[in-house]
Chain A
Amino acid sequence: MAHSTDSGHPLLEGLLVDLTPFDKRFVELEHKWENGPAAFWGDMGDRQFFTRDHLRSRRERNAAERENDSSPAVTFGIQTKDSTPIGLFVVAYIQPAFRTAILGAYIGEPEYWGGGYGTDALLLVVDYAFDWLDLRRLWLVTMSLNARVLRQMDKVGFTMENRQRNATLADGTWYDIVMYGLLRDEWPGRAAMLERLNLWPRAQATKG
């Protein structure tokens, strides 16, 4: 496959999505995504008003912090097979001494929710974290209202390890913050997960 520089070079190739550098196409969309419905789910019920200036200085601050950070992060853009940017994936708070990292992601374009795109990206990132970064545990945090992610965690084999009662407020109601963990020896590998989740036929259907 040939890719021009503005269509995003895929570092990790999935069935429905590729993971690419978080390049300027994603940066352009960040303003829409951070002010849209995905941010509400990603920030556990928060709704913020981000100006472009605010997002720019946040990016610059993060980049500067990353320069001399003892627990660095890896950021990917998620794009469809036709190079449409749809979201982001972050492996953050990488702790070399513990070999752990926290995962964070959203699909910024709601029309791609529930179609297996996020799960396809997740399988790529879990493999990447274990096989390239040599981590041995991944964890992530969401709110109990987020039924879509709770189902996804269950399917992909993460274990719910902690439930902080009434720890976040979403649209006026208290919800629990739930934490999930996956240990490397529990992970059957991406290929096995694609079979188990029946993602091959889904990818075929999307193409057709």
Chain B
Amino acid sequence: MIEGKLVDLVPFEDDYATYLESWMNEEAWFRAHLWERREPHTEDMVKKFIEKMEKNERGALIGFQAKNGDPIGCVIFDHEWSRVRKADVTVVVGDTRYEGTDEALDGLLMLLRYCFETRSLHRVDAVALTFDEVKFDMYERAGFAHEGTLRQHIRYDGDYVDIEMFGLLEDEWPGYETITEKLGLQPSGLEPKPKLEKKDDKDGAKDNDKK
């Protein structure tokens, strides 16, 4: 675990694996994985995705949770390119109640902290669909620069839409302590979700997951 101001980063296992079955079919997931075709994700595909990320030597799937232990979503770095020390970063706010909260922002900041202060990256890349203002706001608060627009790059619900490209360099990152102090992160005060049933009680877990 790596402890942050409003959220902690944790290994992606147990309840996270169960939650991911619904998170991977949420709008937030498809928006974050805009390069991929939109299709329903079955339980089996979700399992395979987790396995793939466990074996991935150029990336990782990491859980992030509120200070009360409530799982919020996942942060992902991928395509880490060792020669130039850069990677793509993604935040998926699986529990949609946290969309736009400072917990979600802290998830991104913790991922950046990990990329720059632990993995020694030189640069990170992030993307957003052109109408995803919640993401723009999050990237801007985290200090990203908007570097360009890939025109009509994605088919999205009947339209060809632009993708906005963002970048943040190591020497633009003030450090986790400094940036969180400057931003004055405030907890949202959301109630934690009810605890999932034990994993072996499969039906019970599913009912809870659907809420």
Contact = CB atoms under 8 A, between A and B. Distances in A.
Interface stretch (A18-26, A59-67, A92-100, A198-206): A92-100
B83 A161 contact: no
Interface stretch (B19-27, B101-109, B135-143, B152-160): B152-160
Interface in B29-84: 37-38, 83-84
B155 A98 contact: yes
B84 A162 contact: no
A100 B37 CA distance: 13
Contacts of A183: 151-152
Given A166-B123, A168-B84, A97 B145 contact: no
Q: Is chain B's binding surface mostly helix, strand, loop or mixed?
A: strand
Given A98-B155, A100-B153, A162 B83 contact: no
Given A139-B150, A179-B150, A181-B150, A164 B167 contact: yes
B206 interface: no
B185 interface: no
Contacts of B28: none
Contacts, number: 63
A137 to B, nearest CB: 6
Nearest to A186: B151
Contacts of A181: 150-151, 153
A179 B148 contact: yes
B123 A167 contact: yes
Given A97-B37, A136-B160, A166-B123, A161 B154 contact: no
Q: Is chain A's binding surface mostly helix, strand, loop or mixed?
A: strand
A1 to B, nearest CB: 39
A121 to B, nearest CB: 24
Contacts of A159: 151
A161 B147 CA distance: 9
Contact of A164 (B147, B149, B152): B147
B161 to A, nearest CB: 10
Nearest to A176: B147
B147 A165 contact: yes
Contacts of A9: none
A131 interface: no
Given A139-B150, A167-B123, A181-B150, A46 B160 contact: no
B169 A161 contact: no
B155 A46 contact: no
Contact of B122 (A136, A160, A166): A166
B156 to A, nearest CB: 9
B83 A169 contact: yes
A137 B125 contact: no
Interface in B158-195: 160, 165, 167, 169
Top 3 closest pairs, chain A to chain B, by CB: A162-B148, A162-B165, A98-B155
Given A97-B37, A164-B123, A165-B167, 4 more contacts: A137-B153, A160-B148, A163-B148, A181-B153
Interface of B: 37-38, 83-84, 86, 122-123, 125, 145, 147-155, 160, 165, 167, 169
